[in-house]
Chains A and B, each alone.
Chain A
């Protein structure tokens, strides 16, 4: 599929390290700051502290406070400042500290960042990467565990991406920073401490979706923290002889329709898993793309396993909201056992 992503430089040959997602993101920021003097990292507590999740740890000491700096506590101005810096020819990589605090910056993101290239007829592109620690799963307080992807994916001019593991965290962040278009980069905070192999010298491709587990009987389509859970569900189902394919969408805008259609065209059954609320969520978009292209092929209606249409609940109830392995298995069962009436 065509996106404007520039592959990270290098793909210089394998150098594999075991890193956590948080370390991989930190490494990606350092490598981009190193590679391009126009890259700037800023936000609340990203400097001396290194970010509340330590994703920016050590960057200010290494690159100086002109390139990595704390801002006053104001999300709208953080994004507005990024717009002005982009006009001045920089590549801003702002952070908002938690998903729910992107809401105060909504106007700057939607009315300004997303539209500036268009309204200036290409003269003022916005190569901004907004990093957002996202989704639930860590028992955080209110508005620290929201799933915001559908808001951003609905907005023309933005790109939206969400890594699921350390390798992708590293390469997708580098690709995002190099993108000439604004990217909302949603980091699954429940995965920050998950370690995995990162091939620093070989991205394996940062475009589009990725089949993380091949299978024949049905396709699970997912992203972010839900990819791991979908893989667990696939393992459980395998014990009953169900061969599940798991696709990590990665890019939530633009969506890689070709890979979805290729996979579901083979398996003929699809389940979309996301932790965001169901109504008008991205599951609806994915299901529609499948039915538009594969209506006659499908063996069953596309199922959605999602959060409920409730405000993101507090820690004690968040396990009810976020799809469990059990709920994913129930969704898989519905498509596998579907019979035409």
Chain B
């Protein structure tokens, strides 16, 4: 697999820093009442930015869950439209999934696996070489849909990469209480395709693993399960209270080195980025985050005009009647 260029490494570093800066601010904005809540991707950045670097959104398609902020960012999704999901503006986000080649944010754990399988099957029928990336958590591997998806993909040898981010926790339940047998990667053997475990705090290692899997899928080699081992460094979501199920000492011990700091150390040591650049990347990220804050805080009040559109291609008689009643109620 090809080594990343200097510029690609610098770009990955910028994405890591931006994602972290945005996550940290979003937690604050939640406390300030700017957004009702969201699940931070703190600790997931290296996995997500590394995976994004292996994906070609010109031909591949990504099926994320709800914690893929850094992935979406690195795939070029406009974060303002992405955050429409988390600020309560529109379910799934308001970005264009067709243009982005990223499906709307998925709330049902496990259900996106079969979607990736169906899309990949379509690629095969159409004789195209696109690869589907399905994002699943360690908790999500307990879902029947994840099993069904992997089984379908294995039986049909479809171009799907299952990226399972094992962040050790499903809300309050540790992975030991979620996954029997000790290894998620090992499960792939039962589906007849390779399973690899990767250090998900190492952005380059994830990029390499996903690139290999994508290439094999493109070449007709079928699916791969990648278990990216990381640690969820924050709460499950802004409403969560990790103090009920783990201590700060646990977090310090189990979390290991922060993936963003780790990559900064690496790019500094290898001379990919100069000390002066580090400060500039931080400043740039801060300016970018501030733009997003301005966007979120200056959104006009939401009218209800879109309530009835897009339920069906055309409004049904019932919906026309209900829309008329809604209009009347807004006048009264």
Contacts and interface: CB of A to CB of B under 8 A. Distances in A.
A124 B115 CA distance: 12
A77 B111 contact: no
Of A1, A84, A111, A159, the most chain B CB neighbours within 10 A belong to A84
A148 interface: no
B297 interface: no
A103 interface: no
Contact of B115 (A72, A80, A107): A80
B310 A122 contact: yes
A119 B118 contact: no
A80 B317 contact: no
B97 A79 contact: no
A108 interface: yes
Contacts of B108: 107, 111-112
B98 interface: yes
A255 B145 contact: no
Of A2, A107, A121, the most chain B CB neighbours within 10 A belong to A121
B318 A255 contact: yes
B121 A180 contact: no
Interface in A278-293: none
Kindly state the interface size class of chain B when it binds its partner: 35 or more
Nearest to A67: B125
A43 B176 CA distance: 36
Interface stretch (A17-25, A86-94, A192-200): A86-94
Contact of A4 (B63, B90, B310, B313): B313
Contacts, number: 148
Interface in B139-192: 144-145, 148-149, 151-152, 155
Given A111-B108, A112-B108, A119-B104, A88 B118 contact: yes
A258 interface: yes
A77 B108 CA distance: 14
B122 A84 contact: yes
A118 interface: yes
B249 interface: no
A229 interface: no
B111 A80 contact: yes
B91 to A, nearest CB: 5
A163 interface: no
A120 B92 contact: yes
B309 interface: yes
B195 interface: no
A248 B152 CA distance: 40
Contact of B316 (A2, A66, A86, A180): A2
B96 A72 contact: no
A38 to B, nearest CB: 9
A191 to B, nearest CB: 27
B241 to A, nearest CB: 27
B54 interface: no
A145 to B, nearest CB: 25
B119 A76 contact: no
Given A119-B104, A121-B94, A80 B310 contact: no
Contacts of B245: none
Nearest to B145: A76
B118 A66 contact: no
B34 interface: no
B315 interface: yes
B123 interface: yes
Given A77-B148, A77-B152, A117-B312, A108 B317 contact: no
Nearest to B94: A121
A87 B117 CA distance: 11
B82 interface: no
Nearest to A74: B148
Contact of B91 (A67, A89, A119, A181): A119
B125 to A, nearest CB: 5
B149 A77 contact: yes
Nearest to B119: A84
B314 A4 contact: yes
B314 to A, nearest CB: 5
A328 interface: no
A157 interface: yes
B280 to A, nearest CB: 37
Given A4-B313, A181-B313, A254-B316, A107 B111 contact: yes
A87 B115 contact: yes
Contacts of B119: 84-85, 87-88
A67 B126 CA distance: 11
Contact of B117 (A2, A80, A115): A80
A291 to B, nearest CB: 16
Contacts of A202: none
A1 B118 contact: no
B117 A77 contact: yes
Interface string B224-266: 0000000000000000000000000000000000000000000
Given A88-B126, A118-B310, 16 more contacts: A1-B317, A3-B314, A3-B316, A4-B314, A72-B151, A76-B144, A76-B145, A76-B148, A77-B152, A80-B113, A84-B117, A84-B120, A87-B118, A108-B111, A111-B108, A120-B97
The 9 closest A-B pairs by CB, nearest first: A84-B118, A80-B114, A88-B122, A77-B148, A81-B118, A84-B119, A119-B92, A254-B316, A74-B148
Interface of A: 1-4, 40, 66-67, 71-72, 74, 76-77, 79-90, 92, 107-108, 111-112, 115-125, 156-157, 159, 180-181, 254-255, 257-258
24 contacts: A2-B317, A40-B125, A74-B148, A74-B152, A80-B149, A81-B114, A83-B115, A84-B115, A84-B120, A84-B121, A85-B119, A85-B122, A88-B118, A92-B118, A120-B97, A121-B90, A121-B306, A123-B98, A124-B103, A124-B104, A159-B312, A180-B313, A254-B318, A257-B317
